[in-house]
Amino acid sequence: MAVSRRGFMATAATAPVLMRASEALAQGVAPRRGGTLQMMLTPEPPVLQIGVNQQGPTLAAAPKMFQGLLTFSSTLEPMPLLARSWTISPDGKEYVFNLQQGVKWHDGQPFTAEDVVFSIMKFHMELAPRARAIFQLIETCEARDPHTVRIVLKQPFQPFLLMFDATAAAMVPKHLFDGRDYRTAPAVQRPVGTGPFKFTEWQRGNFIRLDRNEEYWKPGQPYLDTIIYRIIPDSQSRRLAVESGQVLLSQASDIEPFDIPALRQRQNLEVNTNGWEYFSPLSWIELNHRVKPLDDARVRRAMSMAIDRNFIVNRLWFGVGKPATNPVASTTRFHDSSARLAAFNVAEANRILDQAGYPRNAQGVRFTLKHMALPYGEIWTRLSEYLRQAMRNVGIAFDMESTDAGSWARRVGNWEYETTINFVYQFGDPTLGVERTYVSTNIQRVTFTNTGGYANPQVDALFQRARASAAAAERQAAFSEVQKLLVEEVPQIWLMELAFPTIHDRRVRNVITTGLGVHTSFDDVFIAG
């Protein structure tokens, strides 16, 4: 296994470059130097220093300036970035990264292995909870020479490489941060990275300007002269900016789903929902298993069968996204497409509930559950309204509650809800982004843990087996088994694999080339003439 993996990695270094060159040729367009790419950033981030801030807008903009050791293809295979190549020992504990030669920070200092060790062991270890949880598995992390980093883990951890993307662990300059308070160091306000674009100007509430890094380590790149992020708070103004061509690219939640159909009609625009494979957000009805009868798997199964997921995707999200099939999104590694939720079938759902001993009363209601809508915007309210009607068809009354975003997080974190809507990033691997919702060891009074309180020793054991194993085949077996088990148990009622549209002018090329989509360096993006 380890040998074949190494073999793949040796070829990985050249493959993406070839692919892109041939892609450009196929379109009949050679990359063109020059031009300004206007985009939007919504909402405006407080700082652009990745690590200090890890919210969506920062994760999208910062990788233009900061890079990770690796990046990931749309099938989540690692691709070289600041690491030219890497090897993994057969026992899955030792990782050796060989760094690119001649890489410089924006201030002219050379980028070395010392920066890598600092970024991993100090910077992200202190600032990022998600990185800390995984980097704690590191026994030693050392610079063998200025261009080689060796990491030894306490135990094998197969998804380890997924932590080396810029959004998870970007490389930051040791000489500007070491010995200072990372959150208040001067470099936080004027970011210094190794990326293809340098920070130039930020007029708060107006725009952020990044200019071409003339000394970028990839010869001839980047192609663009300037990237400008406009800050436009109103969603209809953002739509107009895209329609009028003031901005050439919109990303993430810049554009509301209900504006998508009109933008799809425009000949000069391309609407793309790829490029979120690394994050793969999955939405579900979050059930509190402490509330009867939600502890009954038959009830949860029937509720799941009462929902027409195609209606949700096509009518509410206007086709942006996919119906969920099981707890692991289809774009996350180890997804098993043979484990599928029971299909939409109202009659069968009613039969299950009748047999389970929940008869309808005179009003046709079997039982009433409170349902707290997700306060993230109108579309989530519409979703809850749809679900109320869907549940009504099988005799379950949803009593709606509304809250604000702060109260929602507090109430979910304190288990003070009966049902609500939730969505969570999967970060490429079930151990990183799926396990946390279902294992009983993670039942915590914290949002995005197993707040539902589902506990099943079999599920715990399978996730543990997958976590501890270094062999992909063994992990796949455990994950397949747990997916089959979970689609029968339906601990949470999965609804949809969310996607966020990237809408851009057709002249802008190479926008989405990896599983991280717009969260990449854009060093190969160009504007065709």
Partner 1 sequence: MSDFWRRYRRNRGAVVGLVILALVFALAGLAPLLFPGSPWDMATAPFVPPGEEGMLLGSDSLGRDVAAGIAHGARISLMVGAVSTVAALSIGVTLGAFAGYLGGVADDAVMRFTEFFQTIPSFVFAILLVAIFTPTISSVVFAIAVVSWPPVARVVRAEFLSLRNREFVQAAEVLGKSRISIVLTDILPNALSPIVVLSSLMVASAILLESALSFLGLGDPNLMTWGFLIGAGRSVIRLAWWMSVFPGIAIFLTVLALNLVGEGLSDALNPRLARQRGGAA
Q: How far apart are CA 117 and CA 134, in angstroms?
A: 15
Structure tokens at 74: 């749309």
For the stretch 404-424, what's the b/e string if a residue is b when 16 or more beta carbons lie within 10 angstroms of its beta carbon?
eeeebeebbbebebbbbbbbb
Among 154, 180, 183, 315, binds partner 1 (CB under 8 A): 315
Among 77, 385, 460, 474, binds partner 1 (CB under 8 A): 385
Which residue in this structure is represented by tokens 């909402």? 43
Structure tokens at 242: 């895209």
Which is nearer to partner 1, 308 or 481 (by Cβ)?
A: 308
Among 91, 142, 234, 399, binds partner 1 (CB under 8 A): 399
Which is nearer to partner 1, 65 or 316 (by Cβ)?
A: 316
Instruction: Note whether 253 binds partner 1 by CB under 8 A.
Output: no
Among 381, 442, 449, 476, binds partner 1 (CB under 8 A): 381
CB 401 within 8 A of CB 372: yes
Which is nearer to partner 1, 23 or 256 (by Cβ)?
A: 256
Instruction: Note whether 401 binds partner 1 by CB under 8 A.
Output: yes
Among 166, 269, 316, 512, binds partner 1 (CB under 8 A): 316
Site stretch for partner 1 (CB under 8 A), options 136-144, 189-197, 350-358, 400-408: 400-408
Query: In the complex, what is the shortest distance from the CB of residue 187 to partner 1, in angstroms, rounded to a whole number?
Result: 40
Query: In the complex, what is the shortest distance from the CB of residue 359 to partner 1, in angstroms, rounded to a whole number?
Result: 21
Instruction: Note whether 299 binds partner 1 by CB under 8 A.
Output: no
Which is nearer to partner 1, 11 or 265 (by Cβ)?
A: 265
Instruction: Note whether 367 binds partner 1 by CB under 8 A.
Output: no
With H, G, I as helix, E, B as strand and everything else as coil, classify residue 398: strand
State the CB neighbour count (10 A cutoff) for residue 307.
25
Burial of 348 (0-12, 13-18, 19+ CB in 10 A): middle
Instruction: Note whether 243 binds partner 1 by CB under 8 A.
Output: no
Which is nearer to partner 1, 239 or 504 (by Cβ)?
A: 239
Which residue in this structure is represented by tokens 């063998």? 144
Burial of 89 (0-12, 13-18, 19+ CB in 10 A): middle
DSSP class per residue in 407-476: HHHHHHHTT--SEEEEEE--TTSHHHHTHHHH-GGG--SSTTSSTT----HHHHHHHHHHHH---HHHHH
Which residue in this structure is represented by tokens 């086709």? 319
Query: In the complex, what is the shortest distance from the CB of residue 314 to partner 1, in angstroms, rounded to a whole number?
Result: 9
Site stretch for partner 1 (CB under 8 A), options 63-71, 77-85, 163-171, 256-264: 256-264
Which is nearer to partner 1, 116 or 316 (by Cβ)?
A: 316
Which is nearer to partner 1, 83 or 373 (by Cβ)?
A: 373
CB 111 within 8 A of CB 163: no
Query: In the complex, what is the shortest distance from the CB of residue 368 to partner 1, in angstroms, rounded to a whole number?
Result: 11
Among 5, 20, 32, 382, binds partner 1 (CB under 8 A): 382
Query: In the complex, what is the shortest distance from the CB of residue 384 to partner 1, in angstroms, rounded to a whole number?
Result: 8
Query: In the complex, what is the shortest distance from the CB of residue 499 to partner 1, in angstroms, rounded to a whole number?
Result: 19
Among 373, 374, 424, 499, binds partner 1 (CB under 8 A): 373
Closest CA to 222 of 71, 37, 90: 37
Among 178, 258, 351, 413, binds partner 1 (CB under 8 A): 258
Q: Which residues pair with 80 in a beta bridge?
A: 70
CB 119 within 8 A of CB 130: no
Instruction: Note whether 349 binds partner 1 by CB under 8 A.
Output: no
User: By rule CB under 8 A, what count of residues binds partner 1?
Assistant: 22
Instruction: Note whether 344 binds partner 1 by CB under 8 A.
Output: no
Measured between alpha carbons, how far is residue 274 from residues 228, 270, 516 in Å? 23, 12, 9
Q: How far apart are CA 352 and CA 342, in angstroms?
A: 12
| Residues near partner 1 (CB under 8 A) | 256, 258, 261-262, 315-316, 373, 378, 381-382, 384-386, 388-389, 392, 399-404
